[in-house]
Structure 1
Amino acid sequence: MSLYRSAVWFAKGLREYTKSGYESAAKDFVPDDLEVQVPGRAFLVTGGNSGIGKATATEIAKRGGTVHLVCRDQERAEGAKAEIIRESGNQNIFLHIVDLSDPKKIWKFAEDFKQEHKLNVLVNNAGCMVNKRELTEDRLEKNFATNTLGVYILTIALIPVLEKEHDPRVITVSSGGMLVQKLNINDLQSERTAFDGTMVYAQNKRQQVVLTEHWARAHPTIHFSSMHPGWVDTPGVQRSMPGFYSRLKDRLRSAAQGADTVLWLALTPAATAQRSGCFFQDRKPVPTHLPLARTSSSLAEEEKLMEILEELAHRFK
């Protein structure tokens, strides 16, 4: 990562990604955009047991939506489900235990899900930031397996069921950290350079933005979006970025503030008035590159990423 990108990004972050950045942006929000009810619509939220995912699931449940939580840990997921039901009064909360770093289990889950449920909105929220290079049982680097390949498989597996429904949407929770990364298709599993978990995560988040743009072109009947929730106080941030958290904890957004744009993209008619494939921050589409940062990729590089992911995904089907 260049010093220029780092400096520009951090200055931007302090101005826009913090709690005060949210409060400033919120002055321009349309007040009643989220005053919607969605009974009869089905939402799948990955990583729905804590942080942004749980806040998103709870607010959807309050508005009458059917919510499918996809989580890894049974005990924590059961606790979250009970809390969401208690807080929303909505009993239509379903739990699915899936390790999103395991391609075979994702395929199996998606095939079973399609037989039993409808789906209007997929929220790819679950993320992973492992700070030491760690391999899954399938010999995949864990951040890549979860953040990129897992998101790819879950999304392409569920596109057929989404396409059957009215107003289908896919929202992927990316990160502003992707702005410091140029797409790198030559080292997707972080084998060739010194391992930096934060930068690997940022690269995965860049990959998610590229995926979103590709899917928007390939599947015009579905509204695709990626988004940056801002710098949010979540258990994941506390665990994976302790230094960052300790320096900025008083300035971080709440989980509810982080979930605001996810909800806006998932629920409102205003969201689908925006072009499919955009990257959003605080309810607005924003650029996917910093000025003069040289992070743009070629169409050939992006197509190569899709080829690699397709090959990997079907290897585990």
Structure 2
Amino acid sequence: MKAYLALEDGTVFEGISFGATGLRQGEVVFNTSMTGYQEILTDPSYCGQIVTMTYPLIGNYGINRDDFESAGPKVRGFVVRELCHVPSNWRSTSNLEEFLKEHQIVGIQGIDTRSLTKRLRSSGTMGGIITTDALTRAELVDLAKKAPVLNGQDLVSQVTTKEAYTVAGGKYRVVVMDFGAKRNIVRWLSKLDLTVIVVPAHTGAEEILALNPDGLMLSNGPGDPKGVLYAAENIKKLLGKLPVFGICLGHQLLGLALGADTYKLHFGHRGGNHPVKDLDTGRVYITSQNHGFAINADTLDPQVAEVSHINLNDHTVEGIRCKNIPAFSVQYHPEAFPGPTDSEYLFEKFYDMIRNFPA
């Protein structure tokens, strides 16, 4: 069956359908990771997006539920150059096409993903549609132009946990504000023998303090941080009362809580090969990233916080550190999955901050 990918700039790609049938709208983005398509598909941070994989062959190791980052896929659509129909992996329980069909995700293969990626890099991420419907070119482009943009959207409410839950551990208690948290964040905190309490994104500051936490984790999540200003307001009330560690969207929300501004990147950072420099040590880490927004360094109050890490590709802010309170954040994913594990030490840094608070 034929499938089509149309962009708001009028570009239309024709390929072959796989997965579910129908029509899906979203922001079209690309990810440069060579592996990790299961984690990418199930990462809540991709809610609202049609994801293009730049690596040409996808699906070769099939699907297994141990590597999911949430209960199921959150992407709106999936774009690959070539789909592997016969995976080879002893852990695999199904193939990628069956998985997408089961979860009603529309996929397209057989298009020139290199050409698509170059267009997104030069023109920026765009609204688009992916469909198996027999539509004219004009109809495809018209629908692509109507695709909702991420700016100002509250996508967090679609992926946050509905109810709080606890993962038992050690004597220190960490509350995770779930803006679309990857499972591996909770796994890492549990490895450090912490009791983890995951709460919905709308949970108020007073409710969080009533849980008697020793630390606060601000998780990753999808979309524009300005679409969830309610979370930034609650974070602001909690600063200084307990150690805080933010990741990805949590990093951006910490920035907003500190009075800084955020902005949309041209095409974002999505992949497992982004170089980040620690400004204190000069050491460079290769990191896993997935975000389309960033903190404006010029709006960060130097009396309150400072930039701790920068991206060596475009010099955007990759980390901030508060000066007078125990709080820090990074734009990338130290929990990896997929991606390099260079930055796992940040979880231990957070643990030490909890153990030594108040100083």
| TM-score normalised per structure 1 | 0.30
Higher helix residue share: 1
Structure 1 or 2: larger strand share? 2
Q: Which has the larger radius of gyration?
A: 2
TM-score, structure 2 length as denominator?
0.28
